[in-house]
A and B are shown apart, each in its own frame.
Chain A
Amino acid sequence: QKEVEQDPGPLSVPEGAIVSLNCTYSNSAFQYFMWYRQYSRKGPELLMYTYSSGNKEDGRFTAQVDKSSKYISLFIRDSQPSDSATYLCAMSARGSQGNLIFGKGTKLSVKP
Protein backbone atom coordinates (compact mmCIF):
# COMPACT_ATOMS: atom_id res chain seq x y z
CA GLN A 1 0.00 0.00 0.00
CA LYS A 2 1.37 3.38 -0.95
CA GLU A 3 1.68 5.97 1.77
CA VAL A 4 -0.63 8.41 -0.01
CA GLU A 5 -3.38 7.38 -2.41
CA GLN A 6 -5.13 9.80 -4.72
CA ASP A 7 -7.46 9.07 -7.62
CA PRO A 8 -5.80 10.53 -10.72
CA GLY A 9 -9.11 11.17 -12.46
CA PRO A 10 -9.59 12.89 -14.83
CA LEU A 11 -12.52 14.65 -13.25
CA SER A 12 -14.73 16.80 -15.47
CA VAL A 13 -17.41 19.08 -14.04
CA PRO A 14 -19.57 21.94 -15.37
CA GLU A 15 -18.82 25.49 -14.33
CA GLY A 16 -20.41 26.34 -10.99
CA ALA A 17 -20.33 22.78 -9.66
CA ILE A 18 -18.97 21.80 -6.27
CA VAL A 19 -15.82 19.74 -6.62
CA SER A 20 -14.65 17.20 -4.07
CA LEU A 21 -11.07 15.95 -4.19
CA ASN A 22 -9.78 13.34 -1.78
CA CYS A 23 -6.71 11.51 -0.55
CA THR A 24 -6.21 8.64 1.82
CA TYR A 25 -3.04 7.81 3.66
CA SER A 26 -1.61 5.03 5.75
CA ASN A 27 0.99 6.70 7.95
CA SER A 28 -0.62 7.75 11.21
CA ALA A 29 2.38 9.98 11.93
CA PHE A 30 1.33 12.50 9.27
CA GLN A 31 0.25 15.73 10.90
CA TYR A 32 0.71 18.38 8.22
CA PHE A 33 -1.60 18.27 5.23
CA MET A 34 -1.34 20.42 2.15
CA TRP A 35 -3.12 20.87 -1.14
CA TYR A 36 -1.22 22.10 -4.16
CA ARG A 37 -2.52 23.18 -7.54
CA GLN A 38 -0.35 22.50 -10.57
CA TYR A 39 -1.06 23.89 -13.99
CA SER A 40 0.32 22.09 -16.99
CA ARG A 41 4.11 22.38 -17.26
CA LYS A 42 4.30 24.53 -14.13
CA GLY A 43 5.48 23.98 -10.59
CA PRO A 44 2.95 23.27 -7.81
CA GLU A 45 1.39 26.21 -6.03
CA LEU A 46 0.40 25.89 -2.38
CA LEU A 47 -3.36 26.31 -1.99
CA MET A 48 -4.06 25.35 1.58
CA TYR A 49 -2.46 23.68 4.53
CA THR A 50 -3.86 22.20 7.71
CA TYR A 51 -2.25 20.98 10.86
CA SER A 52 -3.80 17.89 12.45
CA SER A 53 -7.58 17.42 12.14
CA GLY A 54 -10.34 19.84 11.32
CA ASN A 55 -11.58 22.16 8.62
CA LYS A 56 -10.09 25.24 7.05
CA GLU A 57 -11.82 27.59 4.66
CA ASP A 58 -10.30 30.10 2.27
CA GLY A 59 -12.66 31.72 -0.17
CA ARG A 60 -14.13 29.04 -2.43
CA PHE A 61 -11.82 26.38 -1.03
CA THR A 62 -12.35 24.22 2.04
CA ALA A 63 -9.86 21.66 3.31
CA GLN A 64 -10.92 18.89 5.67
CA VAL A 65 -8.79 16.43 7.58
CA ASP A 66 -10.17 13.33 9.30
CA LYS A 67 -7.24 11.69 11.03
CA SER A 68 -9.35 8.90 12.47
CA SER A 69 -10.17 7.76 8.94
CA LYS A 70 -6.83 8.88 7.47
CA TYR A 71 -8.76 10.83 4.87
CA ILE A 72 -8.39 14.39 3.62
CA SER A 73 -10.55 16.39 1.26
CA LEU A 74 -10.50 19.60 -0.71
CA PHE A 75 -13.81 21.16 -1.73
CA ILE A 76 -14.08 23.81 -4.40
CA ARG A 77 -17.34 25.77 -4.51
CA ASP A 78 -18.64 27.59 -7.58
CA SER A 79 -15.90 26.02 -9.70
CA GLN A 80 -14.50 28.09 -12.55
CA PRO A 81 -12.73 27.13 -15.78
CA SER A 82 -9.61 28.71 -14.30
CA ASP A 83 -9.69 26.01 -11.61
CA SER A 84 -8.82 23.45 -14.30
CA ALA A 85 -5.51 21.99 -13.14
CA THR A 86 -4.03 19.01 -11.37
CA TYR A 87 -4.53 19.04 -7.61
CA LEU A 88 -1.98 17.28 -5.46
CA CYS A 89 -2.34 16.43 -1.84
CA ALA A 90 0.81 16.32 0.24
CA MET A 91 1.56 15.49 3.82
CA SER A 92 4.40 15.20 6.24
CA ALA A 93 5.09 13.90 9.69
CA ARG A 94 6.29 16.01 12.52
CA GLY A 95 10.02 15.68 12.85
CA SER A 96 10.52 14.64 9.25
CA GLN A 97 12.08 18.00 8.42
CA GLY A 98 9.01 18.77 6.43
CA ASN A 99 9.67 16.22 3.74
CA LEU A 100 6.45 16.05 1.83
CA ILE A 101 4.88 12.88 0.52
CA PHE A 102 2.72 13.64 -2.48
CA GLY A 103 -0.30 11.95 -3.95
CA LYS A 104 -0.33 11.35 -7.70
CA GLY A 105 -2.62 14.29 -8.29
CA THR A 106 -6.17 14.53 -9.63
CA LYS A 107 -6.63 16.23 -12.97
CA LEU A 108 -9.66 18.51 -12.87
CA SER A 109 -11.38 20.05 -15.86
CA VAL A 110 -14.13 22.65 -15.36
CA LYS A 111 -16.19 23.10 -18.50
CA PRO A 112 -17.75 26.52 -19.29
Chain B
Amino acid sequence: GAVVSQHPSWVICKSGTSVKIECRSLDFQATTMFWYRQFPKQSLMLMATSNEGSKATYEQGVEKDKFLINHASLTLSTLTVTSAHPEDSSFYICSARKRRTSGRILEQYFGPGTRLTVT
Protein backbone atom coordinates (compact mmCIF):
# COMPACT_ATOMS: atom_id res chain seq x y z
CA GLY B 1 0.00 0.00 0.00
CA ALA B 2 0.84 3.66 0.07
CA VAL B 3 -0.57 5.27 3.17
CA VAL B 4 -0.16 8.90 4.09
CA SER B 5 -1.28 10.17 7.46
CA GLN B 6 -1.86 13.68 8.74
CA HIS B 7 -2.07 14.98 12.24
CA PRO B 8 -4.13 16.56 13.57
CA SER B 9 -7.26 15.84 11.54
CA TRP B 10 -8.82 19.05 12.72
CA VAL B 11 -7.70 21.97 14.82
CA ILE B 12 -9.21 25.18 16.14
CA CYS B 13 -6.88 27.97 17.10
CA LYS B 14 -7.09 31.61 18.05
CA SER B 15 -6.07 34.38 15.70
CA GLY B 16 -2.39 35.21 16.00
CA THR B 17 -1.25 31.77 17.15
CA SER B 18 0.73 29.21 15.17
CA VAL B 19 -0.36 25.73 14.19
CA LYS B 20 1.78 22.82 13.04
CA ILE B 21 0.44 20.07 10.79
CA GLU B 22 2.35 16.82 10.29
CA CYS B 23 2.32 14.66 7.21
CA ARG B 24 3.81 11.17 7.27
CA SER B 25 4.27 8.49 4.65
CA LEU B 26 3.71 5.31 6.66
CA ASP B 27 4.89 2.52 4.40
CA PHE B 28 7.12 4.15 1.83
CA GLN B 29 9.82 6.74 1.47
CA ALA B 30 8.72 10.00 -0.06
CA THR B 31 11.34 12.05 -1.77
CA THR B 32 8.80 14.73 -2.57
CA MET B 33 5.86 15.96 -0.56
CA PHE B 34 3.24 18.49 -1.59
CA TRP B 35 1.01 20.75 0.46
CA TYR B 36 -2.40 21.76 -0.87
CA ARG B 37 -5.16 23.98 0.40
CA GLN B 38 -8.80 23.43 -0.43
CA PHE B 39 -11.55 25.94 0.24
CA PRO B 40 -15.20 24.78 0.27
CA LYS B 41 -16.45 23.80 -3.18
CA GLN B 42 -13.06 24.68 -4.67
CA SER B 43 -10.32 22.59 -6.13
CA LEU B 44 -7.06 21.69 -4.49
CA MET B 45 -4.54 24.50 -4.85
CA LEU B 46 -0.89 23.61 -4.59
CA MET B 47 0.86 25.71 -1.97
CA ALA B 48 4.36 24.31 -2.02
CA THR B 49 6.55 21.39 -3.00
CA SER B 50 9.20 20.09 -0.67
CA ASN B 51 12.04 17.72 -1.30
CA GLU B 52 13.74 15.95 1.56
CA GLY B 53 16.71 17.90 2.83
CA SER B 54 16.15 21.02 0.75
CA LYS B 55 14.09 24.18 0.94
CA ALA B 56 10.50 24.09 -0.18
CA THR B 57 9.41 25.66 -3.44
CA TYR B 58 6.38 27.87 -2.96
CA GLU B 59 3.71 28.64 -5.52
CA GLN B 60 3.11 32.21 -6.55
CA GLY B 61 1.07 34.08 -4.00
CA VAL B 62 1.92 31.79 -1.08
CA GLU B 63 3.88 33.52 1.67
CA LYS B 64 6.84 31.37 2.62
CA ASP B 65 7.30 33.20 5.93
CA LYS B 66 3.72 32.50 6.88
CA PHE B 67 3.56 28.88 5.80
CA LEU B 68 6.75 27.25 7.03
CA ILE B 69 7.50 23.86 5.55
CA ASN B 70 10.06 21.42 6.85
CA HIS B 71 10.83 18.11 5.17
CA ALA B 72 13.24 16.68 7.67
CA SER B 73 13.15 13.05 6.62
CA LEU B 74 11.93 10.77 3.85
CA THR B 75 8.76 10.07 5.79
CA LEU B 76 7.87 13.36 7.47
CA SER B 77 6.98 16.86 6.36
CA THR B 78 5.47 19.59 8.51
CA LEU B 79 3.51 22.71 7.65
CA THR B 80 3.40 25.48 10.24
CA VAL B 81 0.85 28.23 9.78
CA THR B 82 2.32 31.18 11.66
CA SER B 83 0.26 34.03 13.08
CA ALA B 84 -2.91 32.42 11.79
CA HIS B 85 -5.89 34.57 10.80
CA PRO B 86 -9.51 33.63 10.07
CA GLU B 87 -8.84 33.79 6.33
CA ASP B 88 -6.35 30.93 6.79
CA SER B 89 -9.21 28.67 7.79
CA SER B 90 -9.24 25.90 5.22
CA PHE B 91 -8.70 22.22 4.55
CA TYR B 92 -4.99 21.49 4.26
CA ILE B 93 -3.98 18.30 2.48
CA CYS B 94 -0.55 16.85 1.99
CA SER B 95 0.51 14.32 -0.57
CA ALA B 96 3.63 12.26 -0.99
CA ARG B 97 5.32 10.79 -3.98
CA LYS B 98 7.28 7.60 -3.79
CA ARG B 99 10.96 7.48 -4.46
CA ARG B 100 11.24 7.45 -8.24
CA THR B 101 11.08 3.99 -9.77
CA SER B 102 11.35 2.83 -13.34
CA GLY B 103 7.72 3.69 -14.00
CA ARG B 104 6.80 6.85 -15.85
CA ILE B 105 3.67 7.59 -13.94
CA LEU B 106 4.26 9.95 -11.04
CA GLU B 107 1.70 8.86 -8.51
CA GLN B 108 0.85 11.00 -5.55
CA TYR B 109 -0.78 9.62 -2.45
CA PHE B 110 -2.84 11.99 -0.39
CA GLY B 111 -3.30 12.31 3.31
CA PRO B 112 -6.76 12.57 4.87
CA GLY B 113 -6.45 16.32 5.33
CA THR B 114 -6.45 18.71 8.28
CA ARG B 115 -9.32 21.09 8.82
CA LEU B 116 -8.06 24.34 10.33
CA THR B 117 -10.44 26.83 11.86
CA VAL B 118 -9.04 30.13 13.09
CA THR B 119 -11.30 32.08 15.41
Contact = CB atoms under 8 A, between A and B. Distances in A.
B105 A41 contact: no
A102 B43 contact: yes
A51 B105 CA distance: 7
Nearest to A105: B43
Contacts of A88: 43-44
Interface stretch (B13-21, B69-77, B82-90, B109-117): B109-117
Contacts of B115: 41
Given A43-B111, A51-B105, A98 B32 contact: yes
Contact of B44 (A51, A92, A98, A102): A102
A68 interface: no
B105 A45 contact: no
Contacts of A102: 43-45
Interface string A60-104: 000000000000000000000000000010001000011110111
Chain A contact residues: over half helix, strand or loop, or mixed? loop
B48 to A, nearest CB: 11
A102 B95 CA distance: 13
B88 to A, nearest CB: 18
A99 B46 contact: yes
A97 B33 CA distance: 11
A100 B46 contact: yes
A36 B95 CA distance: 13
A33 B41 CA distance: 22
B60 interface: no
Nearest to B114: A43
A92 B108 CA distance: 11
Interface of A: 6, 8, 32, 36, 41-46, 49, 51, 88, 92, 97-100, 102-105
27 contacts: A6-B43, A32-B106, A36-B110, A41-B113, A42-B112, A42-B113, A43-B95, A43-B112, A43-B113, A45-B110, A46-B108, A46-B109, A51-B104, A88-B43, A92-B106, A97-B49, A97-B106, A98-B32, A98-B97, A99-B46, A100-B34, A100-B46, A102-B43, A102-B44, A104-B41, A104-B42, A104-B43
